[in-house]
Structure 1
Amino acid sequence: METAQILRNAMTGDINAFQTLFAGFQNQLKSYLYRLLTDRNDVDDLTHDTFIRAFDKIATFNQESSLKTWVFTIATNLAYDHLKKLKRWPADAQDRGARLAVGTPDISNSFRVVHQASNAGAYEIKEHIDFCFTCISKTLPIENQVALILKDIYDFPVKEICLILDKTEGVVKHLLNASRETMANIFDNRCALVNKKGACDQCSQLNGIFNPKQNQQEQRMKLELVKESRKFNRMELLNLRTLLVKAIDPLHSSGTDLQDILMRCTRTAIGEVNNFFDVPNSKVH
């Protein structure tokens, strides 16, 4: 059956038809929500809520945008309602998480358990760069974060981001420029992977913990980001990081479970989670 007919069926209340269309972008939607929410349980809840709300309102879909953009608008509004109750992340959130882990043997041990027992507990430097990108994007105002992620990670056109955020093109372009500038500045000041003046070398430290037999410098140099870093300025380096991040689905990768538990530790360290061990376990791969 052609997509247009499936859409017509969905708009007349055929939930199976709507499910078929929703499934076409569900993985990307969940990945997007994870980058905003950083909690897999919240992602599952908001994805379910998005599906229900979109299906309930499907008769109002006027087709001025794609169905995907319309559904992402609903999901973004739900995420915004959730996130506005929380504080923006500080630029040193990962440092706080690292200090909490080092000072709490039970947390450090939980990292090792996931690394050893989970099929998605591998540690790769490129995935930790993705983790850092998400953490740093959390320092932005919500609208800036949404605009940046939709445009630079999921390739949404500016005109569709305007619809999702209900902003003019000029405002969206301003949000994008301001977000990239902030991201580039924070990365430039803390990421020792490509800047030896940086305060953070977590990628190599963690690689040494989880892959002790690997030559850490050798692993670093395998990344184009590192090999090319001396040729580019900080904004060009952000673009290289973005290309790397675009190739990673934070919910379906070889290190998904390990990165998720590192994220939980970070959220605990900044006070978004009261107790690391009180958080219900997300599904592990």
Structure 2
Amino acid sequence: MITMHELAREDVELVDEALGGNPLSFQLLIERYQDRLFALARHYTKSAVEVEDIVQDTFLKTFRRLETFQRQSSFSTWLYRIAVNTALDFLKRKGRSPVTAVEDPELSAAPVRAQAGSGVAVSAPDAAMRREEIARITREVLDELPEIFRTVLVLREFEGLSYLEMAEILGISIGTVESRLFRARARFKEAMIRLHPEFAAPD
């Protein structure tokens, strides 16, 4: 099984070959990372057309900027940074929040419990309505946050990235990531309680 180090080394070799005029090498990079980018883009929009646009724009920007890849970070991190910025810029141009809910067909089809440990099943339509309401509230609260806080929450809580990956993608130190994420979570909690006091923990 190929290791992350070997994969990163192969990526650099493919970049060098692409810069040397081999179009198949860049195509291999596209095939290697397109699924990951599609998954990322789906966190920002439900529209299949917009997801396609974001991914295509990301690869186009990557190809045009290939000579600027400095190898200080892995190619995948560099590509991910371009993808995140492309998705955010795309939705800013649309005048929409950079966080939208993503439907999970398997969850939509399965019944869920009304409460943990209860024996009362909730129908799939009720579960879907509940998820939509939670997604709406989450978007509403995230919209209250400044962009820098909103972005770190998306990368950490939605994308599950490590602090190191976030630091490289955002071009900041790990300490700044930790501080910004701490403040973002606090601001999110404050906004949630202000907008939806029913979610406040009892005294």
TM-score, normalised via structure 1 length? 0.46
Q: Which residue of 1 aligns with 2:184?
A: 179
Q: Alpha-carbon deviations, 1:23-65, whole Å to 9, x = none?
A: 3332332332332345433221121011111012222212111
State whether residues 81 and 169 of structure 2, in contact with CA within 8 Å, keep that contact through their aligned partners in structure 1.
yes
State whether residues 193 and 199 of structure 2, in contact with CA within 8 Å, keep that contact through their aligned partners in structure 1.
yes
Unpaired stretches in structure 2, ≥5 consecutive residues = 110-123
Q: Which residue of 1 aligns with 2:150?
A: 145
The AA in structure 2 aligned to 1:63 is R
Q: How do 1:156-195 residues align onto structure 2 when only pairs under 5 Å count?
A: 156-185=161-190
The AA in structure 1 aligned to 2:43 is R
2:78 equivalent to 1:75 = no
The AA in structure 2 aligned to 1:31 is A
Q: How do 1:197-208 residues align onto structure 2 when only pairs under 5 Å count?
A: 197-198=198-199
Counterpart-to-counterpart distance in 1, 2:162 and 2:30: 20
State whether residues 148 and 180 of structure 1, in contact with CA within 8 Å, keep that contact through their aligned partners in structure 2.
yes
Counterpart-to-counterpart distance in 1, 2:19 and 2:137: 38
Could you say if the C-alpha distance between residues 38 and 21 of structure 1 is closer, same or farther in structure 2, counting changes exceeding 3 Å? same
1:154 alignment partner, one of 156, 159, 165: 159
Deviation at 1:198, TM superposition (A): 4.5
Please report the RMSD computed on the Cα atoms of aligned residues, expressed in angstroms. Answer: 4.1
Counterpart-to-counterpart distance in 2, 1:63 and 1:26: 20
The AA in structure 2 aligned to 1:158 is Y
2:79 equivalent to 1:41 = no
The AA in structure 2 aligned to 1:34 is R
Unpaired stretches in structure 1, ≥5 consecutive residues = 95-117, 200-232, 235-285
Q: Which residue of 2 aligns with 1:19?
A: 27
Counterpart-to-counterpart distance in 2, 1:67 and 1:17: 14
Counterpart-to-counterpart distance in 2, 1:9 and 1:180: 43
Q: What is the number of residues matched between the two proteins?
A: 171
Counterpart-to-counterpart distance in 1, 2:34 and 2:138: 20
1:55 alignment partner, one of 48, 60, 63: 63
